[in-house]
Copies of this chain bind each other. A is one copy, B any other.
Amino acid sequence: MRISELSRRSGVSVTTIKYYLREGLLPAGRQTAATQAEYDEQHLRRLRLIRALTGVRGLSVSTTRDLLDVLDQHTGDTHLTLGLALGAIRLAEEPAGQAPEAAEVDALVKELGWDVHESAPARAALAETLASLRSLGVPRDWRTLLPYARLAERTAVLDLDQLDGIEDPLELAEHALLLTVLLEPALLALRRMAQENESARRHTDH
């Protein structure tokens, strides 16, 4: 396909596609004339993934390029592909947080028996929540999170099921990212609605 069709099918402007080509995020097309090149489905998948990484995850162009490079070097490693797409595995290791709640998160992960990267940003998010609840006078032990974590396990099975059968690593990374990030507000909305329903069940007569 020509660059105009690639633009139409990916939803990325021709100007931006040319910028990605210059910056090395997108490999050059097959030259068919002095000013014309042909692109294929692989270019389209890569472009969709770039859009998801820069748009949905908000990564910079240079971080996106680094991430794509690592993906290219490890095609076939589905776990790494998913970890990179979702940010569980980060390119540059950051020092572990020193918050006292970090030890509680370690205890939780150990109790769950989960296989979670040491530098996963989700660990810091959990520690921050425990610290916030404490500072606002609603202290909660990590054990409070245990039943929530068991439900999260079942949510993750639903998530991964939706990615089953996607063979292309670029498409896999894009779908993982879109379904994870875009479903977040929906899952929070479902919780709010379920709370309302549960409150009606407990506290009203109907």
Binding site for B on A (CB under 8 A): 48, 52, 77-79, 82-83, 86-88, 109, 112, 114-117, 120-123, 125-126, 128-130, 132-133, 136-138, 144-145, 147-149, 151-160, 162, 175, 178-180, 182-204, 206
- The complex places the Cα of A87 from the Cα of B193 at a distance, in Å, of 10
Known contacts A160-B198, A199-B83: A182-B152 contact under CB 8 Å: no
Complex Cα spacing A88 to B196, Å: 7
A200-B151 Cα distance, complex, nearest whole Å:
18
User: When chains A and B are docked, how far (Å) is the Cα of A120 from the Cα of B196?
Assistant: 9
Tell me the nearest residue of chain B to A187, going by C-beta: B148
Chain B residues within 8 Å of A151, by CB: 151, 154-155, 158
The CA of A154 and the CA of B122, in the complex, are separated in Å by: 22
Q: Are A156 and B88 in contact (CB under 8 A)?
A: no
For this chain, the copies found in one complex come to 2
Contact pick for A190, options B52, B130, B145, CB 8 Å: B145
Q: Are A132 and B199 in touch, CB under 8 angstroms?
A: no
Q: How far is the CA of A162 from the CA of B136 in the complex (A)?
A: 16
Please state if B149 and A190 are interface contacts (CB–CB under 8 Å): yes
CA distance A198 to B178 in the complex (A): 18
Cross-chain contact B158 with A196 (CB below 8 angstroms): no
**Cβ A122 vs Cβ B192 within 8 A:** yes
Q: How far is the CB of A126 from chain B (nearest CB, A)?
A: 5
**Chain B nearest Cβ from A64, distance in angstroms:** 17
User: Is there an interface contact between B120 and A193, defined as CB atoms closer than 8 Å?
Assistant: yes
CB atoms of B148 and A192 under 8 A apart? no
